[in-house]
Every structure is written in structure tokens, then in C-alpha cells.
């Protein structure tokens, strides 16, 4: 093995004492492959198992915490106790291969396709439609209904209940999905949150909902987990909309999150080395550098974004980030980590081979989405 890769493969202990066998996690990625009732399919379970051997931790695709939070066709659910056997199947498949299993939990808010939620009624912090019609739906300007305060409290409770189900299903942790324009981010964003109650208005009030979810989940873990249980939080650093979340806003949220006793923070980036677009003085400094500076070693940060080769990973680790997540890279080459371990990094595949769906164990709905979206994956034009 290349000695320069030793930092990638060294163990890492999270704040709660859980030891990760190396510094590489699988990033959460929607796979559109669950059953219509929200239970996981065998194809999905096999897909995860195929990618769980080398990495230290697998963060699943997001699962919805309430029926009106379902954001994708073919998304698996965790909104009631009847889903626990399905969740257990997924947790066991990941853990059997030697990785920690972390369930990403979310509510889609205004990004939910109306046909997937009860009565077609989509909800959000306020009645402001997503500018581009939403990530998950093609319908332009679907107007959400603003949640009442009581409903907001119910959703906070639902995040706690879903965490309990994750514990009962045998997961090693949960990741709170506060990124990519979904409900938690909708409360933090001045674009989608125009409320005038305790959940909106100032930057501090827009942080109330995300921080309340963290508190509820921490409380649930204390009550129900019999062993150390990982709690992470994923966030997107900026929004393109005006008004929208700026890098400066995110640094204030990250500062608050870093004091919450979480086990990690996870930034959502397409490019690890990207620079901020606004809200900070120096727009040449990378977002990762700003985040590490603000966190100041209080909580581990997982970096992500177009880390295709071992060389890319080594360069990323030089920033001081303790953990990296690989997403598309593990779909293209599920043996990425093993190849680094065995000194075969030159054999890592960095372009998708469109003739190898079966060998790569990728379910049909995900495969079809990949090959029909030019530019999403290297090798797909």
C-alpha cells in the first residue's frame, strides 16, 4: 500500500466513542428503488451490501418521517412502526459487511411531489413555492401550505420517533437531513421561511426548528439506545436564490450545531474544493476551510464532492478534514476502498461503465436515472 494513503485508512473515534475502521464513508444517495408501500426491495438491499465492505460507515438514502414528507418515487419509509422490519433488513445487510449503518432521516417539505403525499397537499415553513418547481417534482410553482405551530411540533416529534425506530431496527446511528432544499433547510432559509412566529423571522429564529430536531433526537437516543448511537447532521452551505442562505448564514448555524454534542457534521457539496458565492469576506477561500475554521475541532466534519481517485482523497485530507464521504464514486467502483488498501489505487475506476450494471449491483430505477442524466456521472454523456 502507498504509505501516503495511511491517513485515509486509519481508524477514527467519534465523540460518542464509536470507532470507525477508516476515514471513508458512503454518502447518502437517493436510489428510487423501494416498494410503493415504502418497504425496501431486495435489489436495494443488495446494492447497499455490495458497497458496505470497504467503507467504515454507510449513510443510507433519506427516509421520510411522516406520510406528507415523502419526497421521491421509490423512496423507503420510516414513518410508522410497521416499517421496522424493512429498516432492520437494510441495517443488517450493511452491518454484515462490516460498516456502521446510519439512517438518513428527512421531510421533503415543498419539494414533495403532490401525488406522493396525503390529499396532494404539500407543506413548508411558508406558502412560498420553490423557484425551480422543486428537485423532486417537475410541476412549476407548486404552492405549499404553511405548517401551523402545532404541526411543526408534530414533525419535530416525528423525527424523534423515527430515531427510535432506527434504534429498534439495529442501525448504528441517524443523519438529520438538513440539506438540499428539504424541509429542515426550508425553515432555515429566508427564501422559504417568511414566518412571524417563534419559528421564523430573524436568523436565530430560523434556526429554532433545525436545533429543536437535534434536541429531540438527542433526547430519544438517551431514552432508547442501549449502546453509543451516532447522530450526525447534513447541511448545504448556500442557496442560489435571493433571498437565500449565504455562506455567512451557514457559518452561524454550524457554530450553533458544533455546540450541540453531535457526532459529526456533513456538508453537502458537488465539489469538495468549491468556494463560497456570497456572505463572507474572502471568496477565494474554500467552503471547507471556512467550515473547519468555524467548527474549530468541536465536532468532526465529513467532506464530500467529486473525490474520484485516491489522489483526490489525499488532497482533500490535506485540508484537515477528518472524514470523507464518497457517493457517485462508490456506484462507479464499489471496491474503491479495498483497492486503496491493497495498493491497487491505479485500478480504481473513475468513469461509469454502462455495460456493467449487473456487476455493479445497481437497481434498475437508479441505473435508468443515471444513464438518462447526461453529465451527472463521469462517462455518461
d(CA 32, CA 348): 26
Half-sphere CA count of 169, side-chain side, radius 13 A: 29
8 A C-beta contact, residue 34 and residue 89: no
Which grid cell sits at 135?
428537485
Active site annotation includes 64: no
β-strands 230-235, 57-64 pairing? unpaired
Contacts of 358 by beta carbon, 8 Å cutoff, 6+ apart: none
**How are beta strands 19-20 and 12-13 bridged, if at all?**
antiparallel
What b/e string do you get for 301-336 counting C-beta neighbours within 10 Å, with b at 16 or more?
bbbbbbbbebebbbebbeeebbbbbbbbbbbbbbbb
Q: What is the DSSP letter of 30?
A: -
Residue 322's alpha-carbon distances to 4, 253, 260, in angstroms, are 15, 20, 19
Q: Of 48, 64, 182, 290, which one is the catalytic site residue?
A: 182
Tell me how far apart the alpha carbons of residues 111 and 241 are, in angstroms, rounded to a whole number.
15
Is residue 57 within 8 Å of 100, Cβ to Cβ?
yes
Give 294: exposed, middle or buried? Use CB within 10 Å, 0-12, 13-18, 19+: middle
Crossing angle for the helix pair 208-224 and 247-258, to the nearest 10 degrees: 30
Query: Residue holding cell 424523534?
Result: 160
Grid coordinates belonging to 132: 425551480
> Which helix (DSSP H) or strand (DSSP E) does residue 87 occupy?
helix 84-96
Angle at 35 between CA 138 and CA 152, to 5 degrees: 60
**Residues annotated as part of the active site:** 182
Amino acid at each position: 500500500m502507498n504509505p501516503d494513503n495511511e491517513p485515509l485508512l486509519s481508524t477514527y473515534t467519534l465523540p460518542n466513542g464509536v470507532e470507525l475502521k477508516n476515514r471513508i464513508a458512503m454518502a447518502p444517495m437517493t436510489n428510487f428503488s423501494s416498494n410503493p408501500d415504502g418497504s425496501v426491495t431486495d435489489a436495494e438491499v443488495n446494492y447497499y451490501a455490495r458497497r458496505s465492505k470497504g467503507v467504515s460507515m454507510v449513510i443510507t438514502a433519506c427516509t421520510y418521517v411522516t406520510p406528507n414528507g415523502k419526497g421521491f418515487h421509490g423512496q423507503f419509509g420510516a414513518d410508522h412502526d410497521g416499517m421496522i422490519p424493512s429498516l432492520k433488513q437494510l441495517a443488517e445487510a450493511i452491518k454484515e459487511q462490516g460498516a456502521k449503518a446510519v439512517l438518513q432521516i428527512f421531510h421533503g417539505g415543498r419539494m414533495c411531489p403532490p401525488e406522493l403525499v396525503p390529499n396532494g397537499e404539500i407543506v413548508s415553513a411558508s406558502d412560498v413555492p420553490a423557484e425551480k418547481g422543486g428537485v423532486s417534482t417537475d410541476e412549476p410553482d407548486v404552492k405549499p401550505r404553511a405548517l401551523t405551530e402545532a404541526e411543526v411540533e408534530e414533525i419535530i416529534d416525528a423525527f424523534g420517533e423515527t430515531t427510535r425506530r432506527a434504534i429498534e431496527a439495529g442501525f448504528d446511528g441517524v443523519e438529520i437531513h438538513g440539506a438540499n432544499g428539504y424541509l429542515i433547510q426550508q425553515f432555515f432559509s429566508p427564501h422559504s421561511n417568511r414566518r412571524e412566529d417563534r419559528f421564523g423571522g430573524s436568523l436565530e429564529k430560523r434556526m429554532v426548528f433545525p436545533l429543536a430536531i437535534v434536541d429531540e433526537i438527542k433526547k430519544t437516543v438517551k431514552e432508547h439506545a442501549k449502546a453509543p448511537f451516532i447522530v450526525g447532521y447534513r447541511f448545504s452551505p448556500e442557496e442560489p436564490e435571493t433571498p437565500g442562505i449565504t455562506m455567512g448564514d451557514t457559518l452561524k448555524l454550524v457554530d450553533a450545531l458544533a455546540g450541540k454534542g453531535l457526532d459529526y457534521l456533513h456538508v453537502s457539496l458537488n465539489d469538495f474544493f468549491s468556494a463560497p458565492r456570497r456572505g463572507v469576506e474572502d471568496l477565494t477561500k474554500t467552503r471547507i476551510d471556512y467550515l473547519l475554521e468555524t467548527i474549530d475541532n468541536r465536532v468532526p466534519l465529513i467532506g464530500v464532492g467529486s473525490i474520484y481517485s485516491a489522489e483526490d482523497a489525499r488532497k482533500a485530507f490535506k485540508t484537515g478534514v477528518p472524514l470523507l464521504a464518497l457517493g457517485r464514486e462508490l456506484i462507479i467502483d464499489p471496491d474503491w476502498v479495498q483497492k486503496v488498501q491493497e495498493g491497487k489505487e491505479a485500478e480504481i475506476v473513475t468513469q461509469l461503465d454502462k455495460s456493467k450494471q449487473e456487476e455493479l449491483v445497481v437497481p434498475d430505477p437508479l441505473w435508468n436515472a443515471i444513464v438518462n442524466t447526461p453529465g451527472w456521472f463521469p462517462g455518461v454523456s
